[in-house]
């Protein structure tokens, strides 16, 4: 890559992506071996942050049993209607920063009238409400946009969602149909 160091490397998934949370094999030995390689890279100062992604509690525990360096982040699917609260809490208790990927549900939250109504009450856009929600969960929010205007407004989230609204958003009904994004493996009904 021609770089002196990388900011972050994560194990994308504890299992091959095609069988994520579908097979019982959690690849315990394989994940420990990959983790050892990441630890070596970290100790050699080739990477500043090492972590995991799509890891469940049992996958993290498997690493913690042998790790010399604890995973620093766990990057997980986390958005209104899909909030893995217990996993987020477990990570936070263990000092693992949670990164919320697809915080706007790949754009699908934009089609939920109840969420639009709440965003209107706060005088913000639906993506701003979504991003603020993940920040108030204590996660690092990872929204994606190819639109510079969206990028700018997505960063303007200096407002506070009230506690009762946070509860409503945490318990918001599961989005059953992700439209065009359903083909995207994350939304293949596996997570
Ligand atoms: N670790 C993993 O397994 C994993 C899996 C999936 C994704 N990720 C990461 O998570 C990040 C985001 O995920 P994602 O792209 O799936 O979902 P996302 O950030 O929830 O949604 C992106 C969609 O929202 C739209 N959007 C963003 N801001 C908007 C705004 N202000 N107004 C209207 N539409 C807006 C974007 O369209 P525009 O471009 O038109 O704004 C795009 O269609 C990526 O960096 C990705 O790499 C990680």
The model's pLDDT over 89-108, given as tens digits with 9 standing for 90+, comes to: 999 999 999 999 999 998 98
Q: 83 C-alpha to center of ligand 1: Å?
A: 16
- Specify the pTM: 0.94
Nearest protein CA to atom 4 of ligand 1, as residue: 101
- Measured CA to CA, the distance from residue 74 to residue 99 in angstroms comes to 6
Ligand 1 touching residue 157 (CB < 6 A):
no
Nearest protein CA to atom 38 of ligand 1, as residue: 145
pLDDT of residue 185: 54
Mean pLDDT across 145-168: 98
Contact yes or no for 80/108 (Cβ under 8 A) = no
- Residue 58: closest CA among 21, 16, 85, 95: 21
Mutate to test the pocket of ligand 1, among 140, 143, 190 (most ligand atoms within 8 A of CB): 143
- Measured CA to CA, the distance from residue 177 to residue 44 in angstroms comes to 45
- Measured CA to CA, the distance from residue 188 to residue 139 in angstroms comes to 24
- Residue 178: closest CA among 86, 128, 106: 106
């Amino acid at each position: 890559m021609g770089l002196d160091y990388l900011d972050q490397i994560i194990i994308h998934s504890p299992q091959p992506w095609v069988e994520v949370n579908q097979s019982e094999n959690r690849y315990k030995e394989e994940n420990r071996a990959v983790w050892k390689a990441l630890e070596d890279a970290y100790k050699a100062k080739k990477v500043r942050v090492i972590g995991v992604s799509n890891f469940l509690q049992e996958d993290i525990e498997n690493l913690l049993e042998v790790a010399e360096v604890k995973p620093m982040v766990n990057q997980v699917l986390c958005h209104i209607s899909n909030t893995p609260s217990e996993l987020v809490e477990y990570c936070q208790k263990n000092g693992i920063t949670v990164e919320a990927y697809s915080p706007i549900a790949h754009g699908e939250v934009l089609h939920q009238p109840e969420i639009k109504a709440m965003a209107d009450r706060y005088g913000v856009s639906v993506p701003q409400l979504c991003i603020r929600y993940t920040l108030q969960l204590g996660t690092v929010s990872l929204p994606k946009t190819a639109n510079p205007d969206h990028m700018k407004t997505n960063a303007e989230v200096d407002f506070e969602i009230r506690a009762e609204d946070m509860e409503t958003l945490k318990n918001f009904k599961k989005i059953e149909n992700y439209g065009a994004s359903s083909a995207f493996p994350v939304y293949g009904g596996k997570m």
